Amino acid sequence: MKYEKIQAPKGVSEYAPPLSAAFEWVRESLISPAKLAGYQLMELPVFEDTSLFSRGVGESTDVVSKEMYTFEDRGGRSITLRPEGTAGVMRAVIEKGLDRGQLPVKVWYSGAFFRAERPQAGRFRQFYQVGIEAIGLDDPAIDAEVIAIADQGFKSLGLKNYRLEITSLGDAQSRAAHRVDLLKFISKLDLDEATAARAAINPLRLFDDKRPEMKAAMAGAPLLLDYLSENSAQNFKAVKAYLDQLGIEYLVNPRMVRGLDYYTGTTFEFIHEGLGAQSGIGGGGRYDGLMEILGGQALSGIGFGLGVDRALLAAQAEGVLVENQFSSDLFIIPLGENQMSACLSIAAKLRTAGIRTEIAFGDRALKGAMKAADKSGSRYVIVLGDSELASGSVELKRMSDGSTRSVKIDQLQSVLLGDL
């Protein structure tokens, strides 16, 4: 019987060698600045009770109303594959009692997230993010730190063609004053039923409507930045001053809303010029009130989610992925079975020292093994035969230019570490 091939579901981002090495590098580079700033890992489940997202993310959002993968499990419970990370982190912080210890709670997370939307370049049904959350203190300096960590993550990839946009969505007082005038403005618009229903739940959501006719209709709408309370205005001023001090360039975008209802105060987004329509590579903001909505204390928090898939696309667009960047450092070719034991020992020692080392396995001729070394992209190659074992020396060949030099086997580690 001949079986048909089974393919991955449409819209799933998956990574196989050699691209998977670049994906791993992007993911680790994006989260490394958070680790250096004292953020600790929070490992979360990929599915949660549906009410966590309907309450936490907001029923007026496209994420909840259109994009969630929701199903009933065998126990009759409504379960949803996580569409974002913050609500899950907040649930875990409350459940584990972390909010009752040292504040702020500073955690990072990474993994796959799921949204049922139309797949296109840079937009997937399964996608990958890294994120951080700082929970428990309402301090403009923390806002600046969170933004700076994200910015450093993108800089560590070598990205240059992106911009940071920031705004403030104010506090409850600010939004209440703005809502009165915004609803008056919206009441004069000719809205379809679905848009009107969305505006009734959260009128700010209309600023996030991408349809050209809605953009034109909202062009003259009152802006929340003009309604900030004195405290909100001072906080936003302080955040900008900190970013100026850190040398982080930004553009104030008074129409920014982002796609989730829980944002308040400082809100930001990183946009890359080379990705077309799906230009957002990450963003976040403060979410006063979210913990309380989810049954916890009335504590503030701020965080971000950075798109690993889109950051990888941005790195490719800017050409920052160097050829053979993720290849092995050394490729060892044994000339026969008698030399394999020595190869394994040498490789084990070098790997312990952090030197990426491959071995030519199987009964390959020297010419075929050299071709394999070339295709693998290894930086250096050595051939190990009886004469090399007898003399204790090998010819270390640099593949980039074909140059060779004689090196003692017991000095390979120090020589390679000095060159790499």
Pair 114, 71 in one domain: yes
DSSP structural state of residue 188 = T
Sheet holding 264-272, edge to edge: 40-41, 105-114, 126-135, 301-307, 280-286, 264-272, 162-168, 251-252
Q: Is 364 part of any domain?
A: yes
Per-residue pLDDT, 237: 97
Which of 318, 351, 385 is the last residue in one of the domains? 318
84 appears as a binding residue in the annotation:
yes
Per-residue pLDDT, 9: 87
Q: How far apart are CA 358 and CA 168, in angstroms?
A: 52
Q: How far apart are CA 48 and CA 51, in angstroms?
A: 8
Per-residue pLDDT, 260: 64
Per-residue pLDDT, 321: 85
pLDDT per residue, tens digit, the chain (420 aa), is 889 899 988 889 899 988 999 999 999 999 999 999 999 999 999 999 999 998 888 766 777 777 899 999 999 999 999 999 999 999 999 999 999 999 999 999 999 999 988 877 778 999 999 999 999 999 999 999 999 999 999 999 999 999 999 999 998 888 889 888 988 888 888 888 888 887 877 788 788 777 888 888 888 889 999 999 999 999 999 999 999 999 999 999 998 877 666 788 999 999 998 887 778 999 999 998 899 999 999 999 999 999 999 999 999 999 998 766 778 899 999 987 788 999 999 999 999 999 999 999 887 778 888 888 888 889 999 999 989 999 999 999 998 888 999 999 999 999 999 876
Pair 163, 106 in one domain: yes
Q: Is 403 part of any domain?
A: yes
H/E segment holding residue 152: helix 140-156
286 appears as a binding residue in the annotation:
no
Does the predicted TM-score (pTM) go above 0.85? yes
303 appears as a binding residue in the annotation:
no
Pair 65, 148 in one domain: yes
Per-residue pLDDT, 60: 64
Neighbouring residues of 276: CB distance < 8 A, sequence distance ≥ 6: 121, 122
List the one residue out of 50, 128, 52, 35 whose CA is nearest residue 89: 52
Contact between 308 and 136 under an 8 Å Cβ cutoff? The reply is: no
Pair 105, 160 in one domain: yes
Q: Is 381 part of any domain?
A: yes
Q: Is 2 part of any domain?
A: no
Looking at the 3D structure of the chain, how many domains does it have? 2
Q: Is 323 part of any domain?
A: no
262 appears as a binding residue in the annotation:
yes
Residues in the chain: 420
85 appears as a binding residue in the annotation:
yes
Contact between 376 and 328 under an 8 Å Cβ cutoff? The reply is: yes
Pair 263, 380 in one domain: no
* DSSP string computed for 95-119: HHTGGGSSSSEEEEEEEEEE-----
123 appears as a binding residue in the annotation:
no
Which of 318, 345, 374 is the last residue in one of the domains? 318
Buried b / exposed e along 179-217 (16+ C-beta atoms within 10 A): beebeeebeeeebeeebeebbeebbbbbbbbeeeebeeb
Pair 60, 162 in one domain: yes
CA atoms within 13 A on the CB side of 64: 20
380 appears as a binding residue in the annotation:
no
Q: Is 194 part of any domain?
A: no
Pair 342, 380 in one domain: yes
Which of 274, 295, 318 is the last residue in one of the domains? 318
Instruction: Give the residue numbers spanning the domain of 66.
Output: 19-171+229-318
Q: Is 214 part of any domain?
A: no
List the one residue out of 252, 176, 190, 251 whose CA is nearest residue 218: 190
- Supply angle C-alpha 327, 328, 334, rounded to 5: 140
CATH number at residue 373: 3.40.50.800
Pair 248, 355 in one domain: no
Pair 311, 335 in one domain: no
- CA-based R_g, the chain, Å: 27
Per-residue pLDDT, 316: 93
CATH number at residue 113: 3.30.930.10
263 appears as a binding residue in the annotation:
yes
Q: Is 210 part of any domain?
A: no
**Beta-strand pair 280-286/264-272:** antiparallel
Question: Positive or negative CA dihedral for 257, 262, 266, 269?
Answer: negative
Contact between 13 and 128 under an 8 Å Cβ cutoff? The reply is: yes
> What amino acid is encoded at 399 in this protein?
M
86 appears as a binding residue in the annotation:
yes
